[in-house]
Amino acid sequence: MNLADHVKKIELRLSATERDVLAFILAEQEFVADATLSAVAHRAFTSTSSVIRLTQKLGFTGFGELKFFIKNSLAHSPTPSEDLVGVLRSDVEATLTTMEGTDLSEILRWIAGARTLYCFATGYAQQLATEEFAKSVISSRRFTVVLPTINEFRASTAVMGPEDMVVIVSLSGATDGLEEILHEMELRGIRILLIAARSDGYIAQHADRTLTYTSTPTMTSINTGLHHSFVGLNVLLDYVARSLIVYNEQQLESRRS
């Protein structure tokens, strides 16, 4: 049994931080199998005590037993056979095809007119991509705030208003724990843009617009089915950021003429 199968068999009640750490461990099992506790905590942007609590919730006596379990599962894993380059190419092409057929004018107008653009990502890889997107938007002179945790997201709704905008970056578009926050934003009239690989999750039902990217699960030696390519997400976010630059230039030229 591999770690992903083990996780599926037990009932877990995890905090947002613990979910992020678990996602990191699942994605970086080869690193975790040979790393120290402090190294894993550092790479996962958390404390050693948080990692230990998570391992205990997973049913292990400690970090050492978790490492042994991962090493054992990796030793009995099949050899990868998937065309990884082909998967990446397909994700990029599919994402660009979707974006070429999408009218971004309304979304760009919202971003350009927002007092503050709040960004929240539901996972580790998504957050890295979101932080780069935020830097690009800031260069377009938009005040942008990346909310690193769900608790900060919840607290920030108190200062949000109709003149603000929220971008939620997700994989499934169905991450637990956001229902109350989304309801609060709807009551406050705050525009919500969801960026996800799927548009049938509950978050899309609360969003004003949804943009989708392609993310194909990649078969690896770990065989978890949880290793998704996020190259499509990065392409989509870069596409939006570049489109915003073009939009702002067009608006500037329009005012000059």
Q: Where are the domains of the chain?
A: 3-75, 84-256
* Residue 210 token pair: 């949804």
Considering just the CA atoms, what is the radius of gyration of the chain in Å? Answer: 20
* CA–CA distances in Å: residue 175 to residues 71, 109, 196, 216: 29, 27, 11, 18
Which run of H or of E encompasses 105? Answer: helix 105-113
Measured between alpha carbons, how far is 200 from 196 in angstroms, rounded to an integer?
A: 10
The DSSP element (H or E) to which 150 belongs, if any, is: helix 150-156
Tell me the residue length of the chain: 257
Statement: 3-75 belongs to CATH 1.10.10.10 = yes
pLDDT tens across the length of the chain (257 residues): 688 878 877 777 888 888 889 999 999 998 999 999 999 999 999 999 899 989 989 988 888 889 988 988 877 655 454 567 777 888 899 999 999 999 999 999 999 999 999 999 999 999 999 999 999 998 888 899 999 999 999 999 999 999 999 999 999 898 888 999 999 999 999 999 999 998 888 999 999 999 999 987 665 554 444 567 899 999 999 999 999 999 999 988 888 87
* C-alpha–C-alpha distance, residues 235 and 211, integer Å: 12
Express each pLDDT in 19-51 by its tens digit.
889 999 999 998 999 999 999 999 999 999 899
DSSP state of 217: B
pTM above 0.95, yes or no: no
Cα dihedral 7, 12, 16, 17 sign: negative
Q: Report residue 240: phi and psi, to 5°.
A: -65, -45
The fold for domain 84-256 equals Rossmann fold (3.40.50)
For 216, the 3-state DSSP assignment is coil
